[in-house]
Structure 1
Amino acid sequence: MANSPSGDSVTDRIVRILDTFTTERTVQSATDIGRRAGLPSATAHRQVEALVEAGLLERDEDRRVRLGMRLWELALRGSHALRLRQAAMPYMERVQATVREHTQLAVLEQNEALFLERLSSPDSGANITRVAGRLPLHASSSGLVLLAFGSTELQERVLTAPLARISPETITDAATLRRTLAHIRRVGYVVAPGSIESVSTGVAVPVRDGSGAVVAALSVVLPRTAPTEGAIAALSDAAAGIRSTLTADRR
């Protein structure tokens, strides 16, 4: 795509504009989008209008901007994430019915755990995770599983970078994290008390496809004092079921 005088391409500017939207910030003005994207006001307004005309962004009655339905439609066409979610949903429902706490499906996306789905009961405990939300790999049970079974390059990239402290119990020491990852690979699951919130324990297992590659993490968020054995068993059974479905889909 053609570059602007500042050297960034049209594609770069579009991505920066879309990246200003978060799970908490779903509606913005064009001026705020430009400021957050680091674009000149005139450029931001012109690019936002073009995206609105294309249906990738939409305006509300107050002329504020939100992500458009066409963007959602395009993202789902042939999406691997959609197929994975569809395969996982029946088994996630069984886990949630058994455990009666938050049940989540996450995938690796740009060095973070991206959550594709979450099922909850009205009386489920504390949980900051949202669908389409992200958490650091070292600080969540799902992220720890994805990191443990990720590539050596990914692990070294995370281990050599500063490890942000999300809660007092988040692992921030590289040597401790390395030992934790080895333990996860050995036992096939993780129990992470207090890594995100002190009142909760995350429990997660890997989800494999028909080839045996880890493609996702399946997790539950339990109250801190709750036993974990039943959750581990339910998650492991569900992961095996998802793998069977993914294997059948490849035939």
Structure 2
Amino acid sequence: MHLERLALILEVVGQKGRATVADICGQTDLPKPTAYRLVQDLVFSGLLEAPARGQFTIGTRLKRIASSDYSDPALLEVIEPVLSGAASEFGAAFFLSRLRGHWVEIIHVATPQTGVSYLHPGMGKRPIHACSCAKAIAALSPALLSHDELKGQLKRYTERTITNRKDLEKELAAIRAKGYAECVEELERGISSVAVTLAKTGVGSTLSIGATASVRVFTPAMRIKVGQALAEISHGLSSALGWDDADANRQSA
């Protein structure tokens, strides 16, 4: 348990690039006194550093251990221009999400620059069972379906929300077979979205890209088209980030 808590803190700080104790608590559900104590232990060991009062980054010691940079800013340098291009091409908002501890969070949204009307999905945490960006990741992350992690999370948002664990497992199996996840009025009436992970294993399996629009715009046929486009985009991004099959297998080992 102690090691898992330390790992969660390092994961959150590593992904955000710079984080406060409040950020860590928000993503791990750790009590503030516990998070603060563990952060101090990590700073003492050189795994974290405090470049400014109350803010923490990955420490020099840990950087020596892990040479690759998978922080939000580093990933966005590669991913953001591609999402912006897709947003303008499809006239819809495209977003990037990633797994932080036991939650999936939308961390960036690219919007069309063509003057068309679009729906903004908003930033922040998304429920595992009722959002395409989270379901895409959950389909490849079985640990997220543990009874303890799902306890109290299968909240009903609309009449189409999945609230039964077995039904959710069937949905995730269908996502794995289809290659992309959909959310059709499961989180909010009138809203739909489509999402895929950047890879099937490794770091890429904890990141998803997606698009959202009204159900009027994202018809079944359009969702298929967007899902296929997202799959192509994810393949290109995965290659650009150096996540070939060998690297993905190494990361997941």
Bin of the TM-score, shorter chain as denominator length: 0.5 to 0.7
Identify which of 135, 149, 161 aligns with 1:144.
135
- Going from structure 1 to structure 2, the CA distance change for 1:21 and 1:124 (only over 3 Å counts) comes to farther
Give the 5 Å matches for 1:86-235. 86-121=77-112, 123-130=116-123, 133-150=124-141, 152-157=142-147, 160-162=150-152, 163-208=154-199, 214-226=205-217, 227=219, 228-235=223-230
The one-character-per-residue Cα deviations of 1:96-117 (angstroms, maximum 9, x if unpaired) are 1221111011111122112221
Partner of 1:33: none
In structure 2, runs of 5+ residues without a counterpart are 1-8, 10-18, 34-49, 248-253
Query: 1:54, CA displacement in angstroms?
Result: 7.1
Larger Rg belongs to: 1
Give the 5 Å matches for 1:8-23. 17-18=22-23
SS for the counterpart of 1:104 is: strand
- Going from structure 1 to structure 2, the CA distance change for 1:118 and 1:193 (only over 3 Å counts) comes to same
RMSD, matched Cα: 3.6
The one-character-per-residue Cα deviations of 1:32-83 (angstroms, maximum 9, x if unpaired) are xxxx969xxxxxxxxxxxxxx97345xxxxxxxxxxxx66899xx9751333
- Going from structure 1 to structure 2, the CA distance change for 1:17 and 1:148 (only over 3 Å counts) comes to closer
Give the Cα separation in 2 of the matches to 1:169 and 1:54: 46
Corresponding residue pairs, total: 195
Contact 1:140 1:192 in 2 (8 A): yes
Partner of 1:244: 239
Contact 1:203 1:232 in 2 (8 A): yes
Give the TM-score of the pair, scaled to structure 2: 0.64
Amino acid aligned to 1:87: V
Give the TM-score of the pair, scaled to structure 1: 0.64
